[in-house]
Chains A and B, each alone.
Chain A
């Protein structure tokens, strides 16, 4: 049974390019306009992706609907700069100064695979996840951190505990913003692996969750 993957469109140019543009056209079964989220019927959706940089102020009024979706067995993916700490329970976030220039200063970003044998990395090699991030999360007990910023916290984690039986996938990475801005090819490669990962991995989607 194939999963219904939906994405949120906040009306920005980069969401337009990422969700309707030629590169990923057809990758999403449905698109929901962000201001419509509080009253949107999410019951037929298996995986809902909150696209990078959707304003937390627009998402906060939809908090109840989104949490109900996950508690009903859905998978919610909160991409970078969507402020999930302000509309999901148990999300702990710390802002950090963004180092846009590590690659020019001869250093490294300090991202490491926290669960290197996870299937995620078969779809998204770590190199395709490295550009920058604006902060890090402290995952709750029982969550699985996939990518960490050394010494700061997680930048991508999987939480099947907080709103069980549903799943939260929370990341500080913002590939849809940069892909949609025609900026940084690694972000396009990230999405190219990430969307099939969401469709294939047995941990996601309602069809594999207790109802």
Chain B
């Protein structure tokens, strides 16, 4: 809970207890909390500003509760989507398109527009982890018309990160890769992502 007692960011609990668990973002940010995967549709979202979805999302479930999510966005809520779009969910999310090949050239990440979440994060620190390319994005979820394209991958700058602002003020930030919060303890400029993401998602 935040100092004023409100939850601003709700994380959907990803798979736990099966090995390889990541550090919990919610332990570091008082305005964030975690809820069970299948309770999202019955959760009181009235004080919630953002729902952050893990790449391990059950997209079939999320598609079934799309009406609840669309209402949340209509009220000005934000969604952070990680992963590859596979099942029908929100109309703004179109099916993932993989890269034609995983050559180094195809895996290079390029900033297309400045954005609060990626401020100060270099292209190199997104493209490479310990000198190896390919962790960030292996393709893209095609953006809807009107989306701001944030990062592109490969020579065609395929938009692997984009944000759509709806007329209601609601927003969808889409990242076609692993959870952005995997960078929580990153020692490079990519370490800026998590605090900036929480600040962006939880702002009034």
The interface of chain A, by Cβ under 8 A from chain B, is 9-14, 16-17, 33-35, 53-57, 80-83, 86, 93, 95, 98, 101, 104, 134-135, 172, 181-183
- Residues A98 and B85 in contact, CB atoms below 8 Å apart: no
Pick 5 A–B contacts, CB within 8 A, sort by A.
A13-B96, A34-B58, A53-B15, A53-B56, A55-B18
- Closest residue of B by beta carbon distance from A172: B19
Q: Nearest-CB distance from A138 to chain B (Å)?
A: 15
Option from B17, B98, B99 in Cβ contact (under 8 Å) with A86: B17
The 9 closest A-B pairs by CB, nearest first: A134-B19, A11-B58, A16-B86, A11-B60, A13-B84, A81-B18, A13-B86, A134-B20, A83-B18
The size of the chain B interface, using a CB distance under 8 A, is: 32
Set of chain A residues within 8 Å of B134, measured between Cβ atoms: 183
Set of chain B residues within 8 Å of A95, measured between Cβ atoms: 19
Set of chain A residues within 8 Å of B16, measured between Cβ atoms: 55-57
Chain A CB count within 10 A is highest, among B15, B131, B134, for B15
Asked if B55 is an interface residue, CB under 8 A from chain A, the answer is yes
Set of chain B residues within 8 Å of A13, measured between Cβ atoms: 55, 57, 59, 83-86, 96
Set of chain A residues within 8 Å of B99, measured between Cβ atoms: 182
- Residues A55 and B85 in contact, CB atoms below 8 Å apart: no
Chain B CB count within 10 A is highest, among A83, A86, A93, for A83
A1-B102 Cα distance, complex, nearest whole Å: 40
Chain B CB count within 10 A is highest, among A35, A135, A181, A183, for A181
A14-B14 Cα distance, complex, nearest whole Å: 14
A183-B134 Cα distance, complex, nearest whole Å: 8
Set of chain A residues within 8 Å of B55, measured between Cβ atoms: 12-13
Asked if B116 is an interface residue, CB under 8 A from chain A, the answer is no
- Residues B37 and A181 in contact, CB atoms below 8 Å apart: no
- Residues B83 and A81 in contact, CB atoms below 8 Å apart: no
- Closest residue of A by beta carbon distance from B141: A13
- Residues B15 and A55 in contact, CB atoms below 8 Å apart: yes
Asked if B28 is an interface residue, CB under 8 A from chain A, the answer is no
